[in-house]
Amino acid sequence: MTKFEDLGISNATLQAVLKMGFEEATPIQAETIPLGLKGIDLIGQAQTGTGKTAAFGIPLVEKVDVSADAIQGIIIAPTRELAIQVSEELYKIGSGKRVRVLPIYGGQDISRQIRSLKKAPHIIVGTPGRVLDHINRKTMRLDTVNTVILDEADEMLNMGFIEDIESILAATPAERQTLLFSATMPGPIQRMAEKFMKDPQIVRVKTKEMTVPLIDQYYLEVIERNKFDVLTRLLDIQSPELAIVFGRTKRRVDELSEALTLRGYTAEGIHGDLSQAKRLSVLRKFKEGTIDVLVATDVAARGLDISGVTHVYNFDIPQDPESYVHRIGRTGRAGKKGVALTFITPREKSYLAVVEKTTRSKMEKMKAPTLDEALEGQQKAVVEKIVATIESNNLHYYKAAAQELLEENDASTVIAAVLKMLTKEPDTTPIKLTEEQSPQRRERKPQDRDRRRRDDSRGSSSYGGDRNRKKAPAGKPRSGEKRTGGGGSKPSKPRSFNHQ
Ligand SMILES: Nc1ncnc2c1ncn2[C@@H]1O[C@H](COP(=O)(O)OP(=O)(O)OP(=O)(O)O)[C@@H](O)[C@H]1O
Ligand SMILES: [Mg+2]
């Protein structure tokens, strides 16, 4: 176990990290922080939820000279939500040194960003498209940058952002340090990435599996037509604290979130066609627990760190094994346990072996639950609530009425009536979803870009990112953008990873 004290970081940053509740460095942090401080180029790969953000964030913050009013580091991330989240984490890590961090992403008013850029931030966290817009408009200069970090590098290159990334890199000095991080780094993508690095050292946290062992992985064989009933029964039985349901396309996500709402769940969808304000508000509601089920395309699969996500449901199978790893990695983070369930239609059966081979982990077969089992599950949830209410011991005002009821009925009849009233019977409101095609396995060639970009222009791609920027001209003001998440206001309690 490595202590942050032993990693050669300044006292100001050490105090900031301890204040975040981090007690010990995670393996990827222990390995890459000293190397990052040395200034060498790095490719860092470690499982989802194991603290890669701080692994690159700490050395970056350490390198910043706060007395210089210039951009010194830039982090590029594939989605707006991730850029915001990473900038919040960097802000916290840099709070001891008073490092200024600015998120720059599409869908946010550009003139406001220009004003913020004039306040001389030290670190920029941005999405490729919007960063490039600022470079082209000459509203952001990167010639003082000494460190570039690509978070979820494989995804950005896969998505066809390579030209954008290359243009951004060309705006930075050649003698910069370049760091790449992701939980997955397929060979061809890694080779492509190494082209813009100098003798990168590859740091892989050695684990048997690519997925996190704390996530119990299941698959269910379900025919397309039954998927939705099976999903709602599972939700009734498992009563997840917070759940993410992944669907293949934007249409799928819209239909699923509407259907779930019809059946009485508090669910909302998130995908790339929604306005930025809407995306952020849905995410905020999910983090606060105002909605229990987030229905998402892969826009939410990469990097998002939402505590309390106990279940991930792959309603539609992911595009490829890497997407599977990232989707299920939204649970089982920072040492917590999680459950992942993947629906597989008879035609998709060969998919299972492909994923298991790549991730070197097994999915256990689960039987689709019956309606009776769903009812039982709901009942169990109510019983748990009753027990918790008894334990809270705040029943004074109800005691007299209870006595009255018991004078006329026996105890088990009274309790049965209460259970019946409180139990939400499985809702069988008829739902019809539009059928979805199984995905073609994604090919990892640079020319893929063109195919995927064409998909975007049809607006049917499951991905949002800021690849839609061509449709929404830069500079078009959008209202109501807000920052998500804690922003440092949450009281921090000590956190440490269980052995992974
Ligand atoms: N040393 C630590 N001790 C305790 N918690 C930590 C530590 N480092 C990071 N965390 C917390 O663990 C969670 C996951 O971290 P992070 O988002 O950086 O993971 P990641 O490896 O980037 O995952 P992904 O591959 O999904 O992007 C965050 O809430 C973060 O604040
Ligand atoms: Mg991450």
Find out whether the beta carbon of 45 lies less than 6 Å from any atom of ligand 1. Answer: no
pTM of the model: 0.85
Which has more pLDDT, 460 or 245?
245
Q: Decide if pLDDT at 484 tops 80.
A: no
Please give the Cα distance from 444 to 324 (Å, whole number): 16
Find out whether the beta carbon of 56 lies less than 6 Å from any atom of ligand 1. Answer: no
12-25 mean pLDDT: 97
Give the pLDDT band of residue 441 (cuts 50, 70, 90): low
* The predicted structure's pLDDT at residue 470: 32
Closest by CA to 279, choosing from 292, 265, 294, is 294
Ligand 2 centre from 183 Cα, in Å? 8
Residue 165 CB contacts under 8 Å (≥ 6 apart), including other chains: 76, 128, 150, 156, 157, 196
**Average pLDDT of the residues of the chain:** 87
- 233-254: burial string, b at 16+ Cβ within 10 Å, e else: bbbbbbbbebbbbbbbbbbbbb
* The predicted structure's pLDDT at residue 442: 53
Q: Decide if pLDDT at 490 tops 70.
A: no
Q: How far, in Å, are 69, 171, 218, 265 from residue 159 at the CA level?
A: 34, 21, 28, 33
Q: How far, in Å, are 44, 84, 260 from residue 369 at the CA level?
A: 41, 39, 18
- Name the residue with the closest Cα to ligand 1, atom 12: 334
- Name the residue with the closest Cα to ligand 1, atom 14: 49
Ligand nearest, relative to CA of residue 90: 1
Which of the given ranges, 26-30, 155-159, 374-378, has the highest pLDDT on average? 26-30
Give the pLDDT band of residue 431 (cuts 50, 70, 90): confident
H or E element: which one contains 223?
Answer: none
Q: Decide if pLDDT at 429 tops 90.
A: no
Is 155 within 8 Å of 465 (Cβ atoms)? no
* The predicted structure's pLDDT at residue 375: 87
Centroid of chain to Cα 293: 14
Closest by CA to 25, choosing from 14, 36, 12, is 14
**Which of 176-185, 286-295, 480-489 comes out lowest in average pLDDT?**
480-489
Give the pLDDT band of residue 454 (cuts 50, 70, 90): very low
* The predicted structure's pLDDT at residue 377: 85
Q: Decide if pLDDT at 446 tops 90.
A: no
Q: Decide if pLDDT at 458 tops 80.
A: no
- Strand order of the β-sheet with 177-182 is 101-104, 123-126, 73-76, 147-151, 177-182, 42-45, 201-204
- Residue 182 alpha carbon, nearest atom of ligand 1: 25
Ligand 1 pocket check: which of 22, 60, 88, 179 to mutate, most ligand atoms within 8 Å of Cβ?
22
55-64 mean pLDDT: 98
Ligand nearest, relative to CA of residue 52: 1
Q: How far, in Å, are 154, 164, 256, 296 from residue 76 at the CA level?
A: 12, 11, 31, 22
Please give the Cα distance from 127 to 302 (Å, whole number): 13
* The predicted structure's pLDDT at residue 424: 78
Alpha helices by DSSP H, listed for 138-269, are 153-158, 162-170, 187-194, 227-238, 250-262
Residue-wise pLDDT tens digits, 223-249: 999 999 999 999 999 999 999 999 999
Quick one: angle between helices 80-93 and 52-63, nearest 10? 60
Residue-wise pLDDT tens digits, 260-280: 999 999 999 999 999 999 999
Closest by CA to 274, choosing from 431, 472, 130, is 472
Closest by CA to 123, choosing from 138, 151, 142, is 142
Give the pLDDT band of residue 444 (cuts 50, 70, 90): very low
Ligand 1 centre from 333 Cα, in Å? 7
* The predicted structure's pLDDT at residue 489: 36
**Ion ligand 2 residues within 5 Å by Cβ:** 52, 303
Give the pLDDT band of residue 473 (cuts 50, 70, 90): very low
Name the token pair of 399.
């005691």
Give the pLDDT band of residue 378 (cuts 50, 70, 90): confident
* The predicted structure's pLDDT at residue 394: 85
Find out whether the beta carbon of 452 lies less than 6 Å from any atom of ligand 1. Answer: no
Find out whether the beta carbon of 32 lies less than 6 Å from any atom of ligand 1. Answer: no
Residue-wise pLDDT tens digits, 381-424: 889 889 999 998 889 889 999 999 999 999 999 999 998 888 87
Please give the Cα distance from 30 to 25 (Å, whole number): 6
Write out the DSSP string of 253-310: HHHHHHHHHHTT--EEEE-TTS-HHHHHHHHHHHHHTSSSEEEE-GGGTSS---TTEE
- Name the residue with the closest Cα to ligand 1, atom 16: 51
293 phi, psi to nearest 5 deg: -125, 120
- Residue 152 alpha carbon, nearest atom of ligand 1: 27
Closest by CA to 192, choosing from 162, 161, 155, is 162
Find out whether the beta carbon of 26 lies less than 6 Å from any atom of ligand 1. Answer: yes
Residue 208 DSSP SS3: coil
Q: Decide if pLDDT at 486 tops 60.
A: no
C-alpha angle 375-377-382 in degrees, rounded to nearest 5: 95
- Residue 28 alpha carbon, nearest atom of ligand 1: 21
Rounded (10°) CA dihedral 428, 430, 435, 438: 0
Find out whether the beta carbon of 25 lies less than 6 Å from any atom of ligand 1. Answer: yes
Give the pLDDT band of residue 47 (cuts 50, 70, 90): very high
- Name the residue with the closest Cα to ligand 1, atom 10: 51
* The predicted structure's pLDDT at residue 147: 98
Residue 493 CB contacts under 8 Å (≥ 6 apart), including other chains: 21
Residue-wise pLDDT tens digits, 325-343: 999 999 999 999 999 999 9
Residue-wise pLDDT tens digits, 351-365: 999 999 999 999 999
Find out whether the beta carbon of 331 lies less than 6 Å from any atom of ligand 1. Answer: no
Find out whether the beta carbon of 278 lies less than 6 Å from any atom of ligand 1. Answer: no
